[in-house]
C-alpha cells in the first residue's frame, strides 16, 4: 500500500496530507492524529459451530457493530491524550477505527476452508456489513448528539481540490466557492462514494446532516 493511495482514499482528503502510519503501523494518520481502535470478535456470532447447521448471526453482528461505534465515539470524550494538538485533532474529527478479529477461527467454526472462494466472500460480507452498520450509526449519532465539528466548518474550494476531484467541477463548483465539510466528506471522498454505491440514500443524508465521525472502519 503506497502513501498516494492512502491519501486518495482518505475521507478527509481535502484537509489532510497523511505521510506516515501510527507507530504500530495499522492506521495512517495526519499530524497529531491518534489511533482510537477496537475490534469485534467474530467467533461470538457463530451459532451451532462445527455442525452442518453452523451459521453466522448477521443481525446480532450488525447490532453489536452499532453499539460498539457508540462506545468508540464515547471514548473520544475521555481520550486522555497529553498534547493540546492531539485533543483538538480527535475532538474535531472524532475518527475511530473499528476492525474485526477471530476471522480464521470463525471460518473454522463455520466449516469454511480458509482461503476458499467461500471464505473470501464471507470476509467481504463481514467488512461490508461492519461499514454499513457503522455509517448508519454515524447518522443516528449525528442526529442525537451532533456531527463532528469538521462537518459544519466551511472550506474554500481550491484548484488542487478540483484537480483531485474532477467531478466537483462537473457539479458546478469552482475555485473560491465555499462548501461545508459534510459535503466534501460524504459526496466527494472516494471511500464514501463506495458506500453510496450500496446505500445512496444514507450517503445523501450524511451529506445533508454530517456524520458523527469522519472515519469508522480501520
> Which of the following is catalytic: 8, 17, 26, 144?
26
Annotation marks residue 22 as catalytic? yes
Annotation marks residue 15 as catalytic? no
Within 10 A of 212 (CB to CB), how many other CB atoms are there? 28
Per-position b or e across 32-58, b if 16+ CB within 10 A of its CB: ebbbbebebebbebbeeeeeeebebee
Question: What does the alpha-carbon distance between residue 14 and residue 158 come to, in Å, rounded to a whole number?
Answer: 9
CB 174 within 8 A of CB 185: no
Of 133, 142, 119, 110, the C-alpha closest to 213 is 142
Question: What is the dihedral angle through the alpha carbons of 161, 162, 163, 165, rounded to the nearest 10 degrees?
Answer: 80
> Which of the following is catalytic: 22, 79, 129, 153?
22
Annotation marks residue 35 as catalytic? no
Residues noted as catalytic: 22, 24, 26
Amino acid at each position: 500500500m503506497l502513501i498516494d493511495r492512502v491519501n486518495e482514499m482518505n475521507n478527509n482528503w481535502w484537509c489532510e496530507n497523511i505521510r506516515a502510519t501510527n507507530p504500530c503501523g495499522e492506521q495512517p494518520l495526519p499530524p497529531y492524529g491518534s489511533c482510537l481502535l477496537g475490534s469485534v470478535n467474530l467467533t461470538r456470532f457463530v451459532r451451532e459451530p462445527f455442525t452442518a447447521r453452523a451459521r453466522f448471526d448477521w443481525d446480532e453482528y450488525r447490532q453489536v457493530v452499532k453499539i460498539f461505534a457508540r462506545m468508540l465515539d464515547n471514548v473520544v470524550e475521555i481520550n486522555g491524550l497529553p498534547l493540546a494538538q492531539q485533543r483538538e485533532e480527535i475532538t474535531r474529527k472524532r475518527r475511530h477505527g473499528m476492525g474485526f478479529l477471530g476471522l480464521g477461527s470463525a471460518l473454522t467454526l463455520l466449516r469454511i476452508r480458509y482461503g476458499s472462494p467461500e471464505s473470501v466472500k464471507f470476509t467481504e460480507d463481514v467488512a461490508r456489513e461492519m461499514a454499513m452498520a457503522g455509517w448508519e450509526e454515524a447518522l443516528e449519532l449525528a442526529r442525537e448528539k451532533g456531527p463532528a465539528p469538521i462537518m459544519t466548518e466551511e472550506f474554500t474550494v481550491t484548484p488542487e481540490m478540483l484537480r483531485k476531484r474532477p467531478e466537483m467541477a462537473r457539479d458546478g463548483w469552482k475555485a473560491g466557492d465555499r462548501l461545508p465539510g459534510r459535503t466534501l466528506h460524504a459526496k466527494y471522498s472516494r471511500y464514501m462514494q463506495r458506500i453510496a454505491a450500496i446505500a445512496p440514500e444514507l450517503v445523501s443524508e450524511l451529506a445533508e446532516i454530517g456524520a458523527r465521525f469522519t472515519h469508522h472502519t480501520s
